[in-house]
A and B are shown apart, each in its own frame.
Chain A
Amino acid sequence: MSALFRAPYRTLGAGEIATAVRAGDISAREIVRAALDEIEARNGAVNAFTSVTAERALARADALDAARARGEATGPLAGVPFAVKNLFDIAGRPTLAGSRINADDPAAREDAFAIRRLEAAGAVLVGALNMGEYAYDFTGENAHYGPSRNPHDLTRMSGGSSGGSGAAVAAGMAPLTLGSDTNGSVRVPSAFCGVFGLKPTFGRLSRAGTFPFVASLDHVGLFARSAGDLALAYDAAQGGDADDPAQAARPIELALPELARGIEGLRVAIADGYFRRSGEADAFAAVDRAAAAIGASARVELPQAHVARAAAYLITMAEGGALHLDRLRKRAADYDPDTRERLMAGALLPAQWLMKAQKFRRAYRDAVLALLRDVDVILAPATPCAAPLLGQKKFTLDGVELNVRANVGVFTQPISFIGLPVVVAPIWLPGAKMPLGVQIIAAPWREDAALRVADALETLGAASARIAN
């Protein structure tokens, strides 16, 4: 590390790195070299990375340093190492999507849109990250590549399906990662690994160049160790892209400048009813801690949230099963059995269930949007419990024994079902050994409101992303 910039790499946030690189306090090559060393030192235990793009990263860092030497602008993310869930296309490599099957695919011809956006802002791709097979997962376990482990306790789940994305940030291997979220796959690993995560509004960020799971629910999302870094990267990732038909025609709406406004004028409420049942007491205590920190006490109830979760569950099964049907016919033996049998069941569902679920989606959206006319932000638990043990198949919630893999997303599914933007803020309860997460839910296109609340919680000391030792 440069003499002018002595902080250990693993403690540095994206904003700090970019500021230092732009100022010439440290070179992009020094930062990227430190990132690669950190990955080398820690990935054996955490298993967050499935590949490291060292040669590409160092070449990119040298190009940034040369640009700076010529007096050219290097961008808001200058020299910031980042990594992506391995369902994002990386030019020259097959896009695994957590599977063994896709390893036989031809290499991607170009990078995913989101990678191109971050690199255009000066960030440096350092690798691809472990994930649950084909994103049908809340655990971070993977039969082919091994589980990504929770850096705060290596015997516990990182969460899924973007498990490597959460673990890499919590372990200090990367200050910034990309993931995807269909039913909770950014928010669950954010909560389990204790980092900040953002699932933007459905249609906000282009998904072009990512391997799909459930086209009508898939979102691209981000992980970082502060709300400010999340806003910085989110701002850079925005931009129109004709290659994602679900992307909405929205202008770039910067969130980072909004953080300075704090939470003044925002009406914050706690989700009641469905979101206060079927969870361990600590999950609700985390929400109460966040609410108390910002003086929120009003309660709202999302109507028919249990039906929304059921509808999201059925859409996921049906669309996922249909997407994989041909592969299930030809290569069933090459799937992780936990994924294969869920996809097979999904391929057998009657069409009328899917259609009713999609119709209910509109009706539920209208009901929730009516509620959001009186409230700007809603707080809810991200998961019903802290990270379970790796290999744990069942847990008990409200006296009912449930399958872990299918039920960790009980609080995330009713929200992504209607595409609302959500930031997860990591909460450490007093004396807790593992973190929990609180969903900060806003109206469509109001990522700024959710990020302002997350930033306020961090400033007040109620939320924090600890780097695992």
Chain B
Amino acid sequence: MDENADFVDALIAANARLAGLEIAPESLPVVRENLEVAMRMAAMLESAEVGEREDPAPVFRA
């Protein structure tokens, strides 16, 4: 297992405990795979400049 997989597995274990979620061992590889995709997406999002005063849009108006 590489360093990144260790890191993601640690993240899953910690956050799942915080969320009260039990993740079965057979589910773990796919949960990890999905989190790794999310991390790539978040890195892409990180590249975007968004001002501090920009209002988020939880109830959105087009």
Contact = CB atoms under 8 A, between A and B. Distances in A.
Interface of A: 201-203, 216, 245-246, 248, 304, 306-307, 310-311, 313-314, 317, 325, 328-329, 332, 337, 340-342, 344-349, 353, 355-363, 365, 406, 418-420, 444-445
B1 interface: no
A75 to B, nearest CB: 29
A347 B60 CA distance: 22
Interface size of B as a range: 35 or more
B31 to A, nearest CB: 5
A307 B35 contact: no
Given A344-B31, A348-B12, A419-B62, A358 B56 contact: yes
Query: Which A-B residue pairs are the 5 nearest by beta carbons?
Result: A419-B62, A345-B34, A358-B56, A341-B30, A310-B41
B53 to A, nearest CB: 10
Given A307-B47, A325-B19, A345 B38 contact: yes
A345 B34 CA distance: 6
Contact of B48 (A344, A358, A360): A360
Q: Is the interface of A mostly helix, strand, loop or mixed?
A: helix
Contacts, number: 124
B39 to A, nearest CB: 9
B41 A332 contact: no
Most chain B CB within 10 A, of A317, A345, A361, is at: A345
A247 to B, nearest CB: 11
B60 A361 contact: yes
Contact of A342 (B34, B40, B45, B47): B34
Interface string B32-62: 0011011011101111101100111111111
A304 B59 contact: no
Contact of B45 (A246, A357, A444): A357
B62 A317 contact: no
